[in-house]
Every structure is written in C-alpha cells, then in structure tokens.
C-alpha cells in the first residue's frame, strides 16, 4: 500500500488543528494481560490496522504487564475466538484484504510483550529500550517519535505508572529535526475517573502534575459510538445549519428530553466491581451526562474539539441542584444473588433523575415537543411529537408524529410517512471513521440505510482519535466535577450516592429510598 493511502486526511469535515503526523508510532498497552486489553483495546487496534489506519511501516504495538508470558503467548491470547469471530462477521467491509487470516497474522507480528511491575524503574527502562529500538529501526526514513500509552489497568495503579512513563518513557528527540517535529507522548486512561470528588480531584492532580491536558485522553467509549457522534453532527449540521431545528430547539417548543439506558443482563460475575461504583458512577455520571451535554449545548464557536468541550462544560455548570422528590433509586431483584455482591448491598442498579438546566434556552424545560396549541384533532391522548435517537442496539433516528391513519387520528412512529411527504432532509454523519456529512431522510434506521457498512466499534474510533490528537470525544478534567453539594447531601441522607441521569431497567426493582 502506498504512503498516500496511509496518510491522514487533513481536509475532512472535522478538520481542526490536528497535525497530519507521520513517523514511528508506538502503541503501548499497559495491563496487556487483562480483560479490557484482550476484548477491546487489541481488537480495536487490529481492526484499525486491517483498514489501513495504522501503517505497518510505522506502527509497533507493545503489551506490558506483570504476568510473565512470551510474545507468542500474548499474541495467542489476543487472537482469541471472540475477535476472530467478530472480524469474520465484518470482513465484507474490510478494505485491506479479503483474507482476514492474513491480516490477523500480519498484525499480530507487530505485537511484542514486555513484562515488569508498574512501579519499577527496571521494567519501564526495559520498555523504553524496546520502544527506542523500534524507533531507531525506522528513523532512517521518519522523523518523529509518537508514543501512545493506553492504561488498561485498575485506577489504583495509575499514579506509579504515570510517574514511570514520565521518568523513563517519554518520546525522544530523534535525529536532526526541530523539537516540534519530534513527536508526542499521549496517555489514555479508562473510566472510572475516581469514585467521588476527592478521588477524582486526586487522580486529576496526579496526572496533571506530570502531563499537560492535551496529552491526556480520558476514554469514555460511549463517546465513540456512531450515533453519539451523530448527535454531535446533528447538533452542528442539524440543529445549527437546518432552519427546521433552529427555531424549535428550545423550551418554547420542547417540553422535556429523556435519555434512557437499559440493559437486559445482570452483573455477570463483575458484581464486585459494580457494587463499589453503582449505576450512577458506572453509567450516568459519565455516559449519560455526555449525551445530555451534546443534546443541550449551545452552538460551539467551531467544530474544534476544545470549542465543543467548552460548550459541554457550560451545560454542566447550568444544571440546577437536583430535587429530592425528583430522584428514584432502585435495585433489581436477584442482584444480591451474585456471590461477588455483599449480602446487604444497597448499591443502586436503577436510577431516574430529572436534571433542570438554568439558562436562556432551557429555562424551565422539563427531545419531547409540547402539545399543539388549540389542537383541532384532539390527539392529546395519543401522545406528543418526539424526536428519538436510539444509540444501541440497532442505531436509529426517527420522529413520532401525529398522522392520519385508518380513519382515525393516531400517534404514530412514522418512518415511511416522513419519506412520502418529503417532510424534510437532514444532514447526518456518514458511518465510518471519517467525519463527513450526507443528506438523507430524517427517519433513519442505520441498519437499513447503511446495509453492508460496518458501524465502527467505539474503541476503534477513540484509539484513532488519540493517534490523530483529536480530543473531542474524550472527557476534559473540568467535565468530571460532580453536581452541587446539595445533591450529595441528599444521597447521603438516604444512605446512597446521588445520581445524575435517567435510567430504566428491565427487571423488577425494589425502591431504595
């Protein structure tokens, strides 16, 4: 494959200050022996490789953990059944080769493993040596040293790892090129970003002392999902570029916005982890609040990641204290049957909370539209207009409209009506890793519209963003601050942690309050 095919797009819809960098790229997965690395991080890297986003002439992947295994043992682990199956399922859309097995073995050759502890100079010096060997082998053609450290580790291990990376493993100046061409070092950290304000601040300051904010990528894989990304483009090209949405997206027309997250499975052996964090920290405070910000934010100055993140923070700052009577917490029956969950656990697995935004656009809002004034069809009983975005499963967008149907006026989830009436066209983001907009009907079932096109795994997109230096879909430190203290007091009174978001869960729940 030629170099031009590998090069990054700089003229994309999302073009910002990202540098179209080339050069040695070392991706180091710390905690390489763990579940996250095996199930998410390595598969994302290999899919990116197979689609041509990680040039073999530049990239090198290193696993690091304490477990003593060989390169081949790690390769065997990560070429496990799950990923091979998922790759086969999607092979029709692979751009590099029609033979997945070739790609699999080729990409596995890029992987090496270094064993060491998370706080020993020896281990990280060895790691640095391994990275440097790769860089030196490439430096006759290339200039920069790009080092991406992906922490697939429990947060308790982050502090020593930050220190070790800073001390021993930062990118090095290579050859005769000016410093600004010498590359970068970036650190990707996984949620949870702390358990409460104190621990979040502590984690923030520990990394903040050693790395600058542009070097830090806090990963929330929800932000990499196709339809969450679509929300960004909807908001920018939909809300802010279409007159249809522009005048409607405010409290005069919209009564309330519901963000619903449902899971139809339990803790599945991860109850120990879950019980420490609960549904609020695990889902609401991170995933749902991110979606909430995207729906409610004002028009950013531009589509640059920092401008979008500025607007998200403003939304969070405009949220009013949560009222006691506007919170419901619950726990599904059978949760404590999980042997890893303490018998007397009161950790919420269910939460509903109303967030009220106090600003000009959203003052007093309780995307459901208000009743039609002077409704001559008397359709109140059927329901209101709704604009629905389903993120998973089966990503889709549709409007619920009131239409004439079978001699009666009824509330209708209408897809073909919208098309038939040529009701409107809307820009959406084309699925895939490039950010470009296409025009299509407002009623969109992703599966129908994009048959045969692979909807990208969130982790693939986010890893690629870290390489491109695009922080748009990552959480900035000031987005992590929790809500008003009154909300914490409220939860403390009830003995539970306060929640931010709106959740429905399927199994029966007992009320915790």
- Binding interface with ligand NDP (CB under 6 A): 31, 33-37, 39-40, 65-67, 118, 152-157, 190-192
Q: Is 181 exposed, middle or buried (0-12, 13-18, 19+ CB in 10 A)?
A: middle
In this structure, the number of other CB atoms found within 10 A of the CB of residue 394 comes to 11
Whichever of 118 and 162 has its CB closer to ligand NDP, that residue is 118
For the record, the structure tokens of 396 come out as 């889709």
- Name the minimum Å distance from CB 277 to ligand NDP: 8
Catalytic residue among 47, 287, 427, 509, which?
A: 287
Residue 56's nearest CA partner among 19, 93, 109, 9 is 109
- Name the minimum Å distance from CB 34 to ligand NDP: 2
Residue 344: active-site member = no
Rg (CA), the chain: 24
Whichever of 36 and 467 has its CB closer to ligand NDP, that residue is 36
Q: Positive or negative CA dihedral for 437, 440, 444, 446? A: negative
- Name the minimum Å distance from CB 74 to ligand NDP: 10
- Name the minimum Å distance from CB 488 to ligand NDP: 22
Residue nearest to ligand NDP (CB): 34
- Name the minimum Å distance from CB 125 to ligand NDP: 17
Main-chain dihedrals φ then ψ at residue 412, nearest 5 degrees: -140, 130
Residue 219's nearest CA partner among 481, 28, 473, 432 is 473
Whichever of 9 and 163 has its CB closer to ligand NDP, that residue is 163
352's CB contacts (< 8 A; 6+ apart) are 327, 328, 502, 503, 504
For the record, the structure tokens of 285 come out as 């405070």
- Name the minimum Å distance from CB 473 to ligand NDP: 15
Whichever of 224 and 330 has its CB closer to ligand NDP, that residue is 224
Whichever of 82 and 205 has its CB closer to ligand NDP, that residue is 82
85's CB contacts (< 8 A; 6+ apart) are none
Whichever of 120 and 485 has its CB closer to ligand NDP, that residue is 120
User: Distance between CA 152 and CA 386 in Å, rounded?
Assistant: 39
In this structure, the number of other CB atoms found within 10 A of the CB of residue 67 comes to 14
Task: Give the active site residues.
Answer: 287
């Amino acid at each position: 494959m030629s170099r031009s095919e590998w090069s990054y797009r700089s003229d994309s819809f999302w073009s910002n200050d990202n540098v179209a960098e080339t050069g040695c790229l070392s991706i180091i997965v710390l905690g390489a022996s763990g579940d996250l690395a095996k199930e998410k991080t390595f598969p994302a890297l290999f899919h990116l490789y197979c689609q041509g986003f990680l040039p073999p002439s530049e990239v090198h992947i290193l696993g690091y953990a304490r477990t003593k295994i060989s390169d081949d043992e790690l390769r065997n682990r990560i070429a496990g059944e799950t990923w091979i199956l998922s790759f086969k399922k999607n092979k029709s859309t692979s751009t590099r080769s029609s033979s997945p097995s070739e790609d699999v073995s080729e990409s596995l050759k890029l992987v090496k493993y270094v064993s060491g502890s998370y706080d020993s100079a020896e281990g990280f010096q060895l790691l640095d040596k391994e990275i440097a060997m790769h860089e030196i082998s490439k430096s006759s053609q290339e200039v920069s040293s790009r080092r991406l450290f992906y922490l697939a580790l429990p947060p308790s291990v982050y502090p020593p790892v930050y220190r070790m990376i800073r001390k021993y493993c930062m990118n090095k100046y290579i050859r005769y090129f000016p410093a600004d061409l010498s590359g970068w070092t970036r650190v990707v950290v996984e949620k949870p970003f702390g358990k409460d304000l104190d621990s979040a601040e502590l984690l923030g300051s520990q990394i903040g002392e050693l790395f600058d904010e542009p070097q830090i990528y806090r990963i929330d894989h929800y932000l990499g999902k196709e339809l969450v990304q679509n929300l960004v483009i909807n908001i920018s090209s939909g809300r802010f570029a279409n007159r249809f949405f522009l005048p409607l997206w405010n409290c005069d027309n919209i009564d309330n916005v519901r963000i619903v997250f449902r899971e139809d499975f339990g803790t599945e052996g991860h109850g120990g982890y879950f019980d420490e964090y609960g549904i609020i920290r695990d889902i609401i405070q991170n995933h749902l609040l991110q979606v909430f910000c995207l729906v409610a934010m004002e028009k950013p100055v531009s589509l640059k990641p920092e401008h979008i993140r500025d607007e998200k923070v403003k939304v969070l700052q405009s949220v009013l204290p949560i009222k006691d009577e506007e919170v419901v917490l619950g726990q599904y029956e059978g949760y404590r049957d999980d042997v890893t969950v303490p018998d007397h656990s009161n950790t919420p697995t269910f939460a509903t909370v109303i967030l009220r935004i106090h600003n000009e656009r959203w003052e007093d809002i309780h995307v459901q539209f208000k009743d039609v004034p002077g409704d001559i069809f008397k359709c109140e009983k059927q329901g209101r207009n709704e604009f629905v975005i389903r993120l998973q499963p089966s990503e889709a967008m549709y409007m619920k409209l009131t239409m004439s149907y079978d001699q009666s006026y009824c509330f209708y989830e209408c897809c073909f009506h919208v098309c038939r009436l040529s009701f409107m066209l809307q820009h959406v983001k084309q699925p895939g890793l490039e950010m470009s907009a296409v025009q299509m009907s407002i009623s969109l079932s992703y599966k129908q519209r994009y048959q045969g096109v692979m909807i990208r795994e969130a982790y693939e997109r986010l890893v690629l963003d870290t390489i491109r230096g695009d922080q748009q879909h990552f959480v900035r430190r000031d987005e992590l601050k929790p809500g008003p203290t009154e909300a914490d007091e409220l939860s403390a009174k009830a003995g539970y942690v306060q929640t931010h978001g709106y959740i429905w869960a399927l199994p029966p729940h007992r009320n915790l309050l």
